[in-house]
Chains A and B, each alone.
Chain A
Amino acid sequence: MNYTELSADLVKKCLANGADAAEVYLAVDRELSIQVQDGELETIQEASSQGVGFRVFVKGRMGFSHCNDLSAGSLESTLKQAISFARLTTPDEHNVLAADPATSQVEGLYDPAIADVAMEKKIDMAMELEELAMQDSRVTRSSGSGYGEGETEIYLANSNGLQKHYRSSACFLGVSVVAEKGEQKNTGGEYCSRRFFSDLKSPGEIAAEASRKAWELLDPQMVKTQRAAVIFHSDVGRSLLGGVISALNGERVLQGASFLKDSLEKSFASSLLTIIDDGTYPKGMASRPFDGEGTPTARRVLVERGMLRSFLYNCSVAHRAGTESTGNASRRGFTSLPGIGVYNLFVEPGTYSPEEMIAATPRGLLLKGVTGYGIDPVSGNFSGGATGFWIENGKIAFPVKGLTIAGTAYDILNAIDMSGNDVDLMQSFACPSLRVREMQIGGK
């Protein structure tokens, strides 16, 4: 079936059935997932699927419907459901569709070779990964290893004449193991996801990291409740900054549900903090040529030296705010309306190596794991469970588990006083290690 023609044709059908404007979002997916447990193939799952979502405006009212049956009869009745459902909603002058015909050039989204690699080879990779991760004698059990891959094709058409398409691929290799010592247990997991099969890290590299994460936190000690420095390791950057990104959602801002709603063009964080959102990064796991409603993606500075430079918008929220879409319409597949989201995030690195940051810290926590929701985008509060290493006199002293850390976003973000040079640009949230001068730590 020619989906480009089909999607354009469906837009016309929506208009013919009473919609004043219409958008068709059609997705075709293929997935394979392999899981290995204790040297045996545990599960293998393979499937292809497709579906289409219709967004229509009728006299300013929005209706949406979706179905995964692409027979002509089903498509027709589903699009009529969207038109009929629109009568329930309130007319809104901000109900607009994307109109920018441009598409961003993004290199390296699709690897045609993934599908050609033999199934046996993929199973063997997962088997080898598990075996290698179990080699250290401190690692006693496996929670399983896995390989996964997927391909997605997106076809978008709307009544502003947009007609766009892209295809992308991804593959994944990961493992989780358990280290035990007496009654103690600790888990360690590591994975790698890439657009291209040949870019996957070797099983040996992934296994070594998973294994180390499992055993390095054995024999933890407890520290007293106190205030001390906290170095957020680059792996936990998302826990620190994820809530900041959520607070930049332009719709939250308009609704008053963001702690940053009044901070545009103001300084709200340390001058060491610069955050860039890039939907065009070559081979980026979150890159794509256009967003969830067809606006071209871009590279955009969100936070510059602690100054808030931009909120995030899709078309309708931008219209309401009196500005242009930033190309940040996100979509969770064909079943959902466009929301607002980000692409590959880059936090600008500093000059210090992680070792130098530890050496410069007389007493504090090297944070390797955070549980909880991070910074609350509404109130700006932060509270989480913490694991990592305790630092005494500029040296790692012992592992710590079962601690808490807490504070407010303003206090924490303004207290960032060192940033590391340890950024992995292939992470979709690429963040260096960041030191917060002082935070409340809860212990015994």
Chain B
Amino acid sequence: MPRRKFLEMGLKGGIAVSAMPALLSRLTSCQTGSLPPGRLGMDKEILGRVIAVALEQGGDFAEVYLEDRISRQIVMEESRFKSGLFGISQGGGVRVIAGNSTGYAYTDEITEEKLIHAARVASYVARNGGSIQPVPLEQAGRESFITVKQPLQEIADEKRIEMMERANQAALDYDPRIKMVLVDYNDEIRGRVIANSEGLYLRDELPQMFFIVLALSEDNGRRHLSRERLGMHMGFEMFEETPPEEVAERAAREAIAMLDAKEAPAGIMDVVMQNGWGGVLVHEAVGHPLEADNIAKKVGAFTGKLGQKVASDVFTMVDDGTLPNMRGTTNFDDEGTQMQRNVLIENGVLQGYMTDILSARQLNMKRTGNGRRESFRYYPIPRMTNTFIEKGKDDPADILASTRKGIYVQSLSGGSVNPVTGVFNFTCREAYLIENGKKTQPIRGATLIGTCMDVISNIDAVGNDLDFGPGICGKGQSAEVSAGQPTVRIRGINVGGSRS
């Protein structure tokens, strides 16, 4: 599996987001929750010895990351519980940074012997470097942004099944033209231990829930497969805030609405994007180019543009890993840095990049809490958390009414960007024509293309209705994120329709 992942990642800039709309209207208040005891019982002395071995050859920084995950996935298809999947995964990785070079090695077995071996392998990059003295490990304190009321460990599997049945029934009941429903339930508890040569020692446990409903509609040979997702870092109380029926009905509504879709027009036109997961457009088009790894390599589209005007005055964009319980939120990133709110672009002016430890060193910038990794099999890289366009002053109804002709995008399937050129593409999942300021005919999945610089310069209206949706972001490794935006209007995007 790692080999295939590597080959797939290739060098073709494997950045793609595929995630679907969902409206998370309510956020819980931020409380400090007490975490249940972890299962990663390796003591600090051993970790200290591993770090010391990692730096024996030299190097500027060394880190040990231990991880333990328990995951459940239950799939319901065609009203049958098709499969139940239970996974246990554990392992540890050792990283050494020497100058601009990173060495990384991991092991499935969390033993001192295996970690010491990994440390020796990782230290290959530091053969000729000067050495630092590791600081003795000390437990660090971090604010908590994740509260759990109903721990996943205490939930009977029958409760999980019940949520799925309720979603399935609600989607089927919505309309007889819903022919098939797929419900994909996922939860996971991820324990982390992070220790590094700066003396940092942290551990926590992160619960995660992801609930996906697909609905297939069919009528007269026309078909549409819709998708809705709900995902939070929280306990099973997620379903008290958003009942499974709500997710299912949103999926069913889209599947039925799009049965009437006609050919989309082709060419450059104005686009109004509904609030919520549409924020994935700026996640891709602007967020990825603002991740500091490509900036440090001096190839990123925003290289050298700090403090410059890069977007229209009404455009402010934020990455905030502290929004309580959201899918991109953690208490600290996978390098141990405290999560925070990072304003990336404010009123059109570029304010900052998203860094991890390495890129912050290379650029001589502060750490922003964006060093994330998919698992112990990967070293951390700069990634987004909860990324959104800040709310503006316009009434969403006015934005639509003042758009004479164009496309109204209610939800996007996903898309990708080339972080060097800033060229992006998106596929519409649910979209409509705008004629004389009104939403009219639904149109078939058209691609939207453009460049990041153009799109953020051409946003001329920003609504007051900020909302979010959960997704999965891929950049050689996957990360849980959310993306958000209020209703916005973008002037002049190229729409890939099939008629003139």
Contacts and interface: CB of A to CB of B under 8 A. Distances in A.
Given A44-B104, A69-B109, A385-B496, A189 B218 contact: no
Contact of A191 (B10, B82, B495): B10
Interface stretch (B137-145, B294-302, B402-410): B294-302
A88 B84 contact: yes
Contacts of B149: none
Contacts of A33: 6
Contact of B125 (A31, A41, A148, A385): A41
Interface residues of A, number: 96
Interface residues of B, number: 85
B103 to A, nearest CB: 5
A313 B447 CA distance: 31
Contact of A406 (B82, B225, B299, B497): B497
Contacts of A408: 498
B377 interface: yes
A86 B179 CA distance: 26
Contacts of B301: 185
Could you say which of B77, B84, B494 has the most chain A C-beta atoms within 10 Å of its C-beta? Answer: B84
Interface in A38-60: 38, 40-51
A176 B12 contact: yes
Contacts of B446: 383, 404, 406
A146 B451 CA distance: 27
A372 B420 contact: no
Interface stretch (A267-275, A331-339, A388-396): A331-339
Given A85-B85, A383-B446, A256 B498 contact: no
A189 B234 CA distance: 41
A250 interface: no
Interface string B260-276: 00001011100000000
A88 B157 contact: yes
Contacts of A174: 10-11
A406 B264 contact: yes
A319 to B, nearest CB: 14
Interface of A is mostly: strand
Contacts of B420: 143, 178, 185, 187
Interface string A176-194: 1010000001110101010
Contact of B102 (A27, A43, A63, A65): A43
Contact of A259 (B118, B121, B223, B377): B223
Contact of A379 (B2, B223, B496): B223
Contact of A89 (B82, B103, B415, B421): B82
Contacts of A151: 3
A442 B496 contact: yes
B268 A335 contact: no
A300 interface: no
B50 to A, nearest CB: 15
19 contacts: A27-B1, A43-B125, A44-B103, A47-B377, A63-B84, A64-B85, A68-B89, A68-B90, A88-B160, A89-B81, A149-B3, A152-B3, A256-B180, A257-B180, A371-B449, A383-B445, A404-B266, A441-B266, A442-B494
Given A43-B104, A178-B420, 6 more contacts: A49-B107, A51-B89, A148-B3, A172-B7, A337-B83, A385-B494
